Amino acid sequence: MNSVNKFEISESASSLLCTIPQAVKLGKTYREKISSKKAAMQKYKEDKRREKKGHKSMKSNKRTVEVKDVTDAEPFHPAIRDNRSIKEFQYLNKIDEGTYGIVFRARDKVTGDTVALKRLKALNQNEGFSIAARRELTTLLKIQHPNIVAGREIVVGSGSNEVFVAMEYVPHQLKNFMDTMRMNHLMFSPAHVKCLMTQLLNAVLHLHDKGILHRDLKTNNLLLSQDGILKVADLGSAREYESIPQQYTPGKVTRWYRAPELLLLSREYSTPVDMWSVGCIFAELIMLQPLFPGTTEIDQLDKIFKELGTPSETIWPGYNALPIVKHVIFDSYAPGGLRKKINRRQLTDCGFSFLQGLLIYNPVKRLTAASAIEHAYFKEEPVAIKPDRFLISM
């Protein structure tokens, strides 16, 4: 990471920051961590800078600062004018790189906290940031929930298009945790699965209540803290949605977790696409392997149809009108394959009913996050273990 001056920001980065709503501000609880010594030093530096520019006058032993027109101030939106520099963070290591940015682990030099710094990817030198980057930046700072990775603040760099989001650092990726378990021939108990699913559903419910689709829920995007708290991460594909299904980009959601309406290229979709992903995650927690690991979109559909049966206009009104259905003739499969894949020793009948509710073809009939949380499966013994007992009891 480059060392930069706090007040040097590229035009592209500045334009991105100005798109963030004024209501999105850094929380006081985090700002209070910034020491008084830091604040005093910052004030001193600002005074010296103004003195050099001639914006200062002295009266007797008292010092007063003449404030010029607001146009002479730093070129930041009022809500984000006190963004800190990347220079105030110490690079530790690279965590991950996705479509919408690179994530680093870093240490906040002021507070000593370990944070995750996501550098947002720009389209190119001249075009600035994508709509997806702007959406993610706004969503990260707007959504605050115990089961969603929180965005703390915007951090700026000096180079062209250098904008970072500082987020809480969560050490474990659930997918890696599951891979280790499988290698050691271990499985989650029903109480552990319910603990994770309850937290996941709470996060998804919060997003949907706030009018946001995640659109990339998968085990790779679920993190686990040392206290057993599950955190939904990577809002790079997230976007706001209308209560009535609208036309959006169909190619969202990682293939293995993609709802059939998206695979069949429907452009009108809503929250049910996230709930299908939740169903795939639920099955993966039970089996410790992906439910539908398709190699292509058509292969993905074939794997789904083999387990759930080939859909029809009768069980899914509007199915015949979907773009892919008009051009592809699918093999005819009878339903019932899923119960053979996940037997009663792995999942009770009540739990299987819950899984079926998440994997209903007709999006209108698919379980919502609110109805899923209230399902009888979570009241059936054994109930969910407490998060703080999750790792201890493994």
What is each CA distance from 260 to 174, 265, 269, 291, 363, in whole angstroms?
A: 25, 9, 11, 14, 9
CA–CA gap between residue 346 and residue 339 (Å, rounded) = 10
Give CA 14 to chain center in angstroms.
Answer: 24
Please report, for residues 2, 32, 270, 277, the alpha-carbon distance to residue 309 in angstroms, rounded to integers and kept in the order given.
Answer: 54, 56, 23, 18
Distance CA 106, CA 122 (A): 21
C-alpha–C-alpha distance, residues 305 and 331, integer Å: 8
Cα 96 to the center of its chain, rounded Å: 14
Asked if 139 and 238 count as a contact pair (C-beta separation under 8 A), the reply is yes
| Helix ranges (DSSP H) in 271-368 | 272-287, 297-308, 337-341, 349-358
CA distance 227 to 244: 38
Residues marked active site are found at 216
CA distance 371 to 147: 18
Structure tokens at 241: 């949605």
User: In this structure, what are the phi and psi dihedrals at residue 373, rounded to the nearest 5 degrees?
Assistant: -60, -30
Q: Are the beta carbons of 231 and 148 closer than 8 angstroms?
A: yes
Residues 6+ apart with CB under 8 A from 96: 102, 103
